[in-house]
Structure 1
Amino acid sequence: MSESLFGTPFIAAPMAGGTSTPALVQAVHDGGGLGFLAAGYKSPESMVAEITATRSLNIPFGMNVFVPDARQLAPSLAAQTRLQAYRAELEPEAARYGVTLPPLRLDDDDAWQEKINVLLADPVEFVSFAFGLPGKPVVAGLRKAGTTVICSVTSVQEALAAAEEGPDALAVQHSSAGAHSAAFLPGGKEPAGTPAARTTAELVAQVRAAVGLPLIAAGAIMDGPGLREVLDAGASAAQIGTALVRTHESGARQLHKDALGDPAFTETAMTRAFTGRWARSLVNAFVRDHQDAPEGYPAIHHLTAPVRAASSAAGDPQRLNLWAGAGWRSAREGSAKDVVREYLSGH
């Protein structure tokens, strides 16, 4: 499958929490790529404001939406007990900065339906989903509105399930990718004879053999040769995140940008400590101190928010979520336009 569906083999990963900005979308476009915004953690009104600002640039772009997990919004009594225990574990972290932890919040679906309504009424060129499948009616409605729909998967099993919903493409995320895993069938068994994919290219090849949809590769693709590798494995494009975090146009905290270039950080790890959902981060004190954090998204995200904000305000990277893919050492400063151009010239 050619890159014609996206117009480019370079897609900027949607990075929630403020990292993805209209300015980043513009710079990625100027370099020859396709930019994405992220609706996660934003109100529908804020999402609309970003769409309006980006649409005024007269360039194609996409929007990513988090799919709520019904299990996490209605956790069992045992799960609620674990979450309360984790809240108690976090009290010393809050005391360190003189902040107060909020009570458990279990009802946050990230304004799912309101955001879908906006995207149906005022469609954008591309919409991708993470953390689950949006459902056939949503996929069909968006496609009818003229939107190209992308579902995120992390395995062959998830790819097969996603293909049944009728999307236009799949974003195939390897475990080496930074930030949250898009997995929605945790612990599920792969089809018989499917080995563990050691690299993003291997995972793409496995999914390519199982489904006929265009694929977007994601996970530790840090340069032009890495882009070529996943394209050769069967991807139509690559989704690049960590390599853009330090750029001028990224909205990431400066503390996060600096940490990616700080030799004091020597490894990444998957952790649930910050949000209750597996995510790859630079290993700092918070990651080390809370290795047994329970599942509970977005409840834990809300619990740790005051600590993370205070850590940032204090200039302390040891208790901040420093999302980073396995190839983080290659992320550099400068304009995202130049980063994209380097990828495209080297693939």
Structure 2
Amino acid sequence: MSATKDKSLAESLITPDGKRVLVPVMAIYGANAAGKSNVLHALFLMRDMICGKYAKLLKGEPLPQEPFAFVEGEPEPTEFEIIYYYKGIKYAYGYSFDKERILTEYLYHWPRGREALVFSREKDKYEFRENIQEQTTLAGRTPENRLYLVSSNEWNCAQTEKAYLWFQQSIYGLLDVGMDIAQTISTIQEGGRKKERVLKEMLLADLGIKDVVIHGNKKAPEISTVHCLTDEKGKEAAYSLQMGQESMGTQRFFARIGLWLKAMEEGALLLVDEIESSMHPLLTRHLIEMIQDPQINTKHAQLIFTTHDTGLLDLTLLRRDQIWFAEKDERTMQTEVYALVDFSPRKGENISKGYLQGRYGAIPFIGGGENFWGE
């Protein structure tokens, strides 16, 4: 998400350390089964291995490796690396693993603008630069199928704490086709300013909802929306609907707005698969514009989403370095992810038209020119 020298929409750019310039939003286009969702799933698997369901595997339990399927013989190890900023400090963290063990792991940081090793690992051999004796003890307590970043934080290791907290606090996502409304419900139940913000967004989205009322318990909440109608004499009356009676687009927007607001409040990274699902294009655009607007997104939250909505291929909404494509090589079945800037499009170019014409690749090849329906 590093910004190029593109001058457009410069006001939306982020500088986490006062030097490096990043974009707040990244859109990934591609045909079905091209592999674009795997970019998001990779980030989520990293989070799950660090602070989620795979973080504390018992000794001997298999690691969640899902190797590339289209190879003969033994699969290659899975490798991850991510470079990120937390509280103004740059970190580079990576590791590799197979089904049985962590093979390599390393963490670097730039506390004073210069690269410094925090730790490195090759199987059971570790290297440390600070607090060596204590960290060597912690390394000895780290099972072969667990990350040192995880085990060291179970013992409050100061050297790895901040790098760990970014994964714990700063990655949110909507990768399921279902609707997770838990965060929006939680925000409304907090009441006060937070509930007002949700209701304001529902009104701005022109959904006609004046209030949201929640009854029941956490496992089975009953959600009602309140609509106000005015008759011919000017008399106003309030009517309630169950959330299930609202349109699918309204339900989808309701499910997303709580997480959207939380991500912006925390300055988090928000991952969304098929952002346009069941929503009007203008609602989708509004959610993206919130992240792009520095007056709304004051904590520098970032958004990565996949989409098929060519209406978002608009250079008044997204910069050329914010539009990416995923394309699968039909011979090897491997996915390549590349940016629009690689094609050096002109500022006034119709990106949507060019994409549908195949100018940038990453579209499905339909048919083949033969008459499949003929005799």
Larger Rg: 2
- From the two aligned structures, give the one with the greater helix fraction: 1
> Which of the pair is proportionally richer in strand?
2
